Structure 1
């Protein structure tokens, strides 16, 4: 059995809610993976297998240099850690609402890795819009 799938199965089975205890005594559930990178290598990529040929799907071997990819992989990891605790539909929700959406964007040939190929990373172009006129977007954090 694939160890990454086994880790998921164990996490799901052992994730039942503890007996009723006051909220201050309940500890948050332990994470299965210690980082988004560990999650990517041990859970996501071994289970989300696609033919990455550069035409239908692209990936950058140095994915961590792409801010959008970092954010999306982090979001996938955190959503997985939360939804794995729902033994009924959590993993299905994760696949449908998170993995399929984010991975389709990441693997899209026009997505964040559009300049890269499987041998070479190329820095992405960044949008550099003009700043809006002063006062156009008031700082709402200063309002009480």
Structure 2
């Protein structure tokens, strides 16, 4: 199954350049993990251990079929790769602002895996929107500057 995640390609980190003290662009640090999936298996799940009973926490063994989960795992991976370079408070910030936040949402019984159980993936029901009346949300790309 191939999903279109729009402009957010979960496995291609945005190119970043570091700046030296003199303001010149430096080399981009090498990634520790090559993909969001590798990060999930090698770093996140081995360190973020929780009891997943289905009542207080839910997980889907086929997490990659849930676009929200893919996006959140990729966000955790990208932020981890960036914050690991801050030896002072980087990991503390990552745990507080990224891992704890996103994992709380992912594991919530009403979160993206609400319809799944530990052994079986079930496609979620998507929210169905109704289009707003014409003109309520103009395309800002076409408005004069």
Q: Normalising by structure 1, what TM-score?
A: 0.82
CA RMSD, Structure 1 to Structure 2 (Å): 1.6
Give the equivalent residue in structure 2 for 1:10.
none
Cα deviation code 1:88-110 (max 9, x no counterpart): 00100000011111101101111
Cα distance in structure 1, aligned partners of 2:43 and 2:132:
42
- Superposition pairs for residues 1-144 of structure 1, below 5 Å? 20=21, 23-24=24-25, 26-143=26-143, 144=145
Cα distance in structure 2, aligned partners of 1:27 and 1:128:
45
Cα distance in structure 2, aligned partners of 1:64 and 1:21:
43
The structure with the greater share of residues assigned to helix is 1
Cα distance in structure 2, aligned partners of 1:79 and 1:89:
13
Gaps of 5+ in 2: 1-17
Shift of 1:23: 2.4
Cα distance in structure 2, aligned partners of 1:22 and 1:89:
23
SS at match of 2:100: helix
Cα deviation code 1:23-76 (max 9, x no counterpart): 24x111111111100000000000000111111111000000011111110111
SS at match of 2:80: helix
Deviating above 4 A after TM superposition, structure 1's stretches of 4 or more consecutive aligned residues are 17-22
Q: Alignment length, in residue pairs?
A: 127
Q: Normalising by structure 2, what TM-score?
A: 0.82
Cα distance in structure 2, aligned partners of 1:19 and 1:101:
32
Higher RCO (Cα < 8 Å, 6 or more apart): 1
Cα distance in structure 1, aligned partners of 2:129 and 2:21:
52
Gaps of 5+ in 1: 1-16
Give the equivalent residue in structure 1 for 2:7.
none
